[in-house]
Every structure is written in structure tokens, then in C-alpha cells.
Amino acid sequence: MKKLMAANWKMYKTAGEARTTAASLAALTADTLPGDREVVLFPQFTALSPVADALRHAAGYSVGAQDVYPAAEGAFTGEISPGMLMDCGCAWVLTGHSERRHIIGESDELVGAKTAFSLNAGLKVVLCIGETIEEREAGRLGEVLERQLETGLAGVKGDAVPAAIAVAYEPVWAIGTGKVAGPPEIVEAHALVRQLLVARFGEGGVAVRILYGGSVKPENAREIIALDNVDGVLVGGASLQADSFSRIILA
């Protein structure tokens, strides 16, 4: 199973800046990207085509969007469909990122609809889940992950799994805070996610990649990706510079 090294550029970078970063990243890793690593960049919508273009010849790289709407087309002002994303060169989409759940107010059900619709349309999906600090301190980790996974995967057919879907475990308290979850916390949560995936998909659940996200940096990436059931990382802040993210990719 290839490790999935994903960069979430959030609401940063103009199209030109994103294109330059993508090109530098590909140049820094072109000859050294190990065969067991796969890289996905998730830039802003306006940067999707330029980034896809910059990565045209970069083996092992692909492009994804940070959000999508679960309809092919229609009167949904401001939204974007899977087909439109694929038209810009996207192979992947993120669903359920905690910033969308907590700042924009997306429900578990909407996340589930986006996940199933995108998979059916031919996109691969990274479904993001994770508990807040209040939920963790109240002993509700298992309950929250189970609810987010169950609802997030509700409409997903078993045969879409495992190649087209990955799950990112991102504890909300570790995102953009510099507070990384410790190895025991990561191992515990990932084991739980694995158990839930196997319960949901049977054998297929063993091969679904589970990514860790939350303050991953060049300094801690190697230790994190070596942990049990960690099949990649989803990186925000430390993915914005080509030099820093290249060191994570190659960690």
C-alpha cells in the first residue's frame, strides 16, 4: 500500500503562487520520490487547473479539491460539482474537514452525501474525521469517530473501497495549533478507525488508507508515518512551502 502524502493549502496562495509551489515541489522530489509514496495537493479552486498543469509530468503526483457539492449541476449558487472538478484535472476531493464542519457548519449528513456522490462520479475521496478537545476530555473519542465514519460513509458502496477512499484522522485540537497528538494517541485512534472500517467493509476495510493530520512537520513526519495503521499524512501549515513539504514527502 502506497503512503499517501497530502497537502491541504486551505485558503492560501493565488493561482500563480500555487503553480510555482507545485512546480518547485515536483522539481525537488522528481528523482527521489520513493515508489511507495503518492502525493496529492489540495489547492484553492482557482488554482486547480494551474497546479494540475504544473504537475502534468510529475509521476506520483495528483491534484484534489478541498470541497464539492453533491449534485451534477443545478441552481446551487457558489457551489461546484465533481464533474467540474475533474474537468480542472482533479482526481481527489476532501470531505468533512474540521474547518468546514466547525466554521461553515457542515453536518455529518452533508459530509456523507458529498462523499458518496463524489465517489459515484469518479473522484477519490479523503474523508476527514476527528474529535474536539471537549469531546476527548469527556471520554467521547470512540463515539465521535464512530458517528462521523458511519454517517460519512453511509451511502458508500463496498466496491468503491478501498482504492478510492482514504480516511484522515485529524484531532481538531491538533490542527494548526502546533500541538501534535502523541504516538500513543495516534495509534489508539487509528486502531479504532481500522476496526470501524473493517466492521463496515469487511476485508476491504483493511486496505483503506488512514492518514494522520494535525501539526505534521518535517521534524515529526518520519516518526508519525512509521506508526501502526498510519498510511500517510494530511498536512496544512507545513505543506505551504515546497522545501518543508518535500522533506515531509521524503521523510
* Contact of 45 with 73, CB cutoff 8 Å: no
Give catalytic residue positions: 97, 170
Count of residues of this chain found to bind ligand PGA when the rule CB under 6 A is applied: 13
At closest approach, how far in Å is the CB of 74 from ligand PGA?
A: 29
Rounded CA-CA distance 212/230 in Å is 7
In sequence order, the β-bridge partners of residue 40 are 6, 62
Q: Helix, strand or coil for residue 168?
A: strand
Among 22, 93, 235, 249, binds ligand PGA (CB under 6 A): 235
Q: Helix, strand or coil for residue 126?
A: strand
The stretch among 21-29, 149-157, 181-189, 233-241 that binds ligand PGA (CB under 6 A) is 233-241
At closest approach, how far in Å is the CB of 170 from ligand PGA?
A: 6
Beta-carbon contacts of 122 under 8 Å, excluding residues fewer than 6 positions away, are 82, 86
Rounded CA-CA distance 62/172 in Å is 26
At closest approach, how far in Å is the CB of 216 from ligand PGA?
A: 5
Residue 236 binding ligand PGA, by CB under 6 A: yes
Residue 95 binding ligand PGA, by CB under 6 A: no
Residue 237 binding ligand PGA, by CB under 6 A: yes
* One-letter identity of residue 5: M
Question: Which residue has the CB atom at the shortest distance from ligand PGA?
Answer: 236
Q: Which is closer to ligand PGA, CB of 81 or CB of 215? A: 215
Among 234, 242, 248, 251, binds ligand PGA (CB under 6 A): 234
At closest approach, how far in Å is the CB of 176 from ligand PGA?
A: 4
**DSSP labels for 37-55?**
EEEEEE--GGGHHHHHHHT
The sign one gets for the Cα dihedral 116, 119, 121, 124 is: positive
Q: Which is closer to ligand PGA, CB of 133 or CB of 199? A: 133
At closest approach, how far in Å is the CB of 130 from ligand PGA?
A: 9
DSSP 8-state secondary structure symbol assigned to residue 205: G
Q: Which is closer to ligand PGA, CB of 8 or CB of 95? A: 8
Residue 64 binding ligand PGA, by CB under 6 A: no
In sequence order, the β-bridge partners of residue 37 are 3
Rounded CA-CA distance 105/108 in Å is 10
Binding residues (CB under 6 A) for ligand PGA: these are 8, 170, 175-176, 213-216, 234-238
